[in-house]
Structure 1
């Protein structure tokens, strides 16, 4: 059908096609965007900075580039995760839990594709509110942490922790101080956030 339309010069009247150009009926649902693409689109739209890392070496290299770019090479870092501290102990950073530190370094629970938000809990924040923590964030996540909705994330947290659920579960979804506030991000604390996404699938 597409070939005949092109041959006779019939204009496209709003037909929907897949990525191969095959016509899809107008009443068929549009193909769903993969969660990784959807997350990247929404995360960048929210003002986040994203760096994809194929392996651990690339992650360390990208981390070093962030430090250089922002002149954070010899800074104090708020980091409560011992594993992350060990991964970056070769740097000149000073790791502590000082709220006046230059930046907050952490992992996360999940990456929510339909909003471009990062789901965190007391496992990362302790008993601190987002507003208590430094303005600058570097978050390390894995591609296996990409999920569609916050509801799915809460179910997975519930399963993983059984009866010892973490508290302080929240999302970080505003990454640009100058972004116009609307109903969806009202009350959220903007963070200058870098996401290092490590491929693990």
Structure 2
């Protein structure tokens, strides 16, 4: 897995739309092959969507990358929107104030799945309760693992259902656009504002 990500990040991942001989769309140089592994497809789509990707081989690298995010954005000692007590405990060494205010500097959360087909993140009430995306801070920091990568949204939804047999989570939605001033047009998050998103991805396979 680590060799895959080194290969991906050694490339310049800017899309270059081209036309084939009959005017049909031609797959760009940096677009993932339709039959390529799910992790490769997710990574390339996510970056092309504008997401900020930080691949980590262990929790020490996760903490280092998180520290760099705080430094880059001057978020030390700021308020953070986070409803996951376990996650807050994992990042407690930065003098952050964990709460649920919409005025927080950024949201810190996990997600349900990472969707390979379009580079989106699948979230639900487990992460954001019943809040709409537009009611949350503009900046997201998401912690996820490579085992959470699925091929498509349908696979992710089936996984949510199988893990929550007694009570299926509500407010299931996707985050797909990570460009400033962008607007998501995905049917599961239609009309919601795009988010500036950092992904801390931990290798666990």
| Contact 2:145 2:201 survives alignment (8 Å) | yes
Aligned partner of residue 55 in structure 2, secondary structure:
strand
**How many Å apart are 1:82 and its aligned residue?**
0.5
Q: Is 1:192 the counterpart of 2:188 in the alignment?
A: no
For the aligned residue pairs, the C-alpha RMSD in angstroms reads 1.9
**After the TM superposition, which residues 29-68 of structure 1 pair with which residues of structure 2 at under 5 Å, given as runs?**
32-68=35-71
Distance 2:98 2:186 in 1: 36
Q: Is 1:71 the counterpart of 2:74 in the alignment?
A: yes
Distance 2:183 2:170 in 1: 30
Larger Rg: 1
- 1:119 is aligned, of 116, 122, 129, to 122
Give the TM-score, by structure 2 length.
Answer: 0.80
Distance 2:48 2:190 in 1: 16
Aligned partner of residue 111 in structure 1, secondary structure:
strand
Aligned partner of residue 37 in structure 1, secondary structure:
helix
Aligned partner of residue 179 in structure 2, secondary structure:
coil
- 1:134 is aligned, of 111, 119, 137, to 137
| Contact 1:111 1:147 survives alignment (8 Å) | yes
**How many Å apart are 1:105 and its aligned residue?**
0.3
- 2:157 is aligned, of 142, 154, 159, to 154
Distance 1:183 1:168 in 2: 15
Give the TM-score, by structure 1 length.
Answer: 0.81
- Could you say which residue in structure 1 is the equivalent of 2:169? 166
Distance 1:180 1:144 in 2: 28
Cα distance, 1:70–1:42 mapped onto 2, change above 3 Å: same
